[in-house]
Amino acid sequence: MECPKCGSSQVKRLPPSQISPHPGYQCGECGIKMRSSGMLFVYLLTLLIGIAIGAVMVYMLIEEDGGNRPFQAAWLGAAGLIVAGYSVMQIARPVPRPQPKTDEVE
């Protein structure tokens, strides 16, 4: 794989994080972070779920005062927004270029 920014082949896979088992890659040359190319759909789905959770919790807090568990509702709402934000960050990241072959057919 190659870095889309500086063209370096020093692209390392990032270790799994608490949020995602496939957090993506980082360039060892310029430090830019990239997402796994096959993860776009997963992040889009995560984004939708995060937004849905956040929206429901915000709605509950406003309309029902969080029911009888306002703190839990607020925490879940915040978690949903964090997950949504994380997904947006990942989607916005570039994808590493596949290693160019010397004599590429096609």
Binding site for Zn ion (CB under 5 A): 3, 5-6, 8, 27, 29-30
Q: 29 vs 74, which CB is nearer to Zn ion?
A: 29
Contact (Cβ atoms closer than 8 angstroms) between residue 5 and residue 27: yes
- Signed CA dihedral, 9, 21, 50, 72: sign only: negative
Q: Please report how close the Cβ of residue 77 comes to Zn ion at its closest, in angstroms.
A: 37
Q: 22 vs 33, which CB is nearer to Zn ion?
A: 33
Q: Please report how close the Cβ of residue 89 comes to Zn ion at its closest, in angstroms.
A: 18
